[in-house]
């Protein structure tokens, strides 16, 4: 292996975690990436069905809060933009970096590079995916959920969205995270999300549907890891977060993502 290859730190989280903790881990990694030259790639999952709102969404306009409460569905607010996402049986990735040599210093360009790396991972699974063209204007303006349509630059298979992603930037530093359904549950998505009156369709697929067989989290995480490594020409070094890191993460969770008032703010 080339000794000049860059090394990224890889977290393949084996423990499904509550949504507020998942979001706190991502913010912690973003903060670390902003301080130094480390790039973090993380794969994770959710311990129970969770709706995530984007940073700026009004909770009651984006999701049916009463339905979520009545059915034990958690609600969290991300630090990123985008639209409402239902996290259930999925693989979630996040990538945090300040590496301007590897990533273009604009949201659109870095987003496209990450999408191409994800497509490489899908190819290693035997799937042919592509970058989506522009989505309908009604999707951009409306309250429809993330998986209603593939937005421009997102990843689709056969015209249906397979990965939904969002990014936050501060100067040259960014974090991007995204949802890859292992299985899809359109019925539950339609129940939790607020659709515009004229648009009730969901144009999505899942890894299991696309491959025609059940897909395990670890199997998919490995192939996405290989896809990122091959596409960007980097080594991936496993990272375990230590006790000091977890104490910081729990503090972030308590202040924001686990704070009901923060989650439901306008």
* Model confidence pLDDT, tens digit, residues 77-95: 999 998 899 999 999 999 9
* Catalytic option among 33, 146, 204, 252: 146
SS3 232: helix
**Residue 189 structure tokens:** 């998505």
What's the confidence (pLDDT) of residue 135? Answer: 59
SS3 177: strand
**Residue 79 structure tokens:** 């630090």
Average pLDDT over residues 161-189: 93
The pLDDT of residue 44 is above 60: yes
Judge contact between 127 and 141, C-beta under 8 A.
no
**Residue 29 structure tokens:** 């990694």
Q: Give all strands (DSSP E) within 23-159, no chain letters.
A: 40-44, 50-53, 74-77, 85-87, 90-97, 130-131, 155-157
- 146 an active-site residue? yes
**Residue 103 structure tokens:** 């990533």
Judge contact between 182 and 207, C-beta under 8 A.
yes
Q: How far apart are CA 99 and CA 36, in angstroms?
A: 9
The pLDDT of residue 105 is above 80: no
Q: How far apart are CA 184 and CA 141, in angstroms?
A: 24
**Weakest-pLDDT range from 96-100, 146-150, 155-159, 228-232:** 146-150
What's the confidence (pLDDT) of residue 266? Answer: 46
What's the confidence (pLDDT) of residue 136? Answer: 57
Instruction: pLDDT band for 201, please (50, 70, 90 cuts).
Output: low
- What's the whole-model pTM score? 0.92
The pLDDT of residue 155 is above 80: yes
SS3 246: helix
Q: What does the mean pLDDT of the chain come to? A: 90
Average pLDDT over residues 145-172: 82
What's the confidence (pLDDT) of residue 140? Answer: 52
Q: How many CB atoms lie within 10 A of CB 171?
A: 9
Nearest in space to 130 (alpha carbons), one of 153, 107, 100, 148: 153
Domains and CATH numbers, the chain: 6-263 (3.30.930.10)
What's the confidence (pLDDT) of residue 1? Answer: 54
Name the DSSP letter for residue 6: E
Bridge partners, residue 91, by sequence: 180
Q: Which residue has the higher pLDDT, 146 or 164?
A: 164
Q: How far apart are CA 85 and CA 116, in angstroms?
A: 22
Nearest in space to 224 (alpha carbons), one of 179, 172, 174: 179
SS3 197: coil
What's the confidence (pLDDT) of residue 144? Answer: 55
The pLDDT of residue 145 is above 90: no
């Amino acid at each position: 292996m080339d000794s000049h290859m860059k090394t990224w730190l890889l977290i393949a989280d084996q423990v499904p975690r509550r949504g507020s903790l998942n979001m706190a881990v991502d913010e912690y990694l973003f903060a670390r990436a902003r301080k130094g030259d480390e790039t973090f790639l993380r794969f994770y999952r959710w311990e129970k069905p969770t709706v995530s709102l984007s940073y700026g969404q009004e909770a009651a306009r984006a999701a049916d809060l009463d339905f979520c409460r009545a059915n034990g569905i958690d609600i969290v607010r991300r630090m990123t933009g985008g639209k409402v996402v239902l996290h259930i049986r999925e693989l979630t990735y996040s990538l945090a970096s300040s590496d301007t040599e590897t990533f273009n210093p604009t949201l659109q360009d870095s987003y496209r590079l990450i999408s191409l790396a994800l497509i490489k991972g899908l190819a290693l699974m035997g799937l042919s995916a592509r970058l989506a063209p522009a989505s309908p204007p009604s999707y951009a303006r409306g309250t429809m959920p993330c998986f209603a349509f593939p937005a421009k630059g997102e990843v689709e298979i056969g015209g249906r969205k397979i990965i939904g992603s969002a990014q936050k930037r501060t100067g040259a530093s960014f974090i991007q995270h995204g949802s890859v359904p292992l299985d899809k549950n359109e019925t539950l998505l339609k129940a939790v999300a607020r659709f515009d009156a004229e648009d009730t369709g969901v144009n999505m697929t899942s890894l299991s549907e696309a491959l025609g067989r059940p897909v395990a989290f670890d199997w998919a995480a490995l192939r996405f890891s290989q896809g990122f490594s091959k596409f960007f020409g980097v080594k991936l070094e496993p990272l375990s977060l230590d006790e000091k890191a977890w104490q910081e993460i729990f503090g972030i969770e308590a202040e924001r993502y686990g704070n009901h008032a923060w989650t439901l703010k306008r």
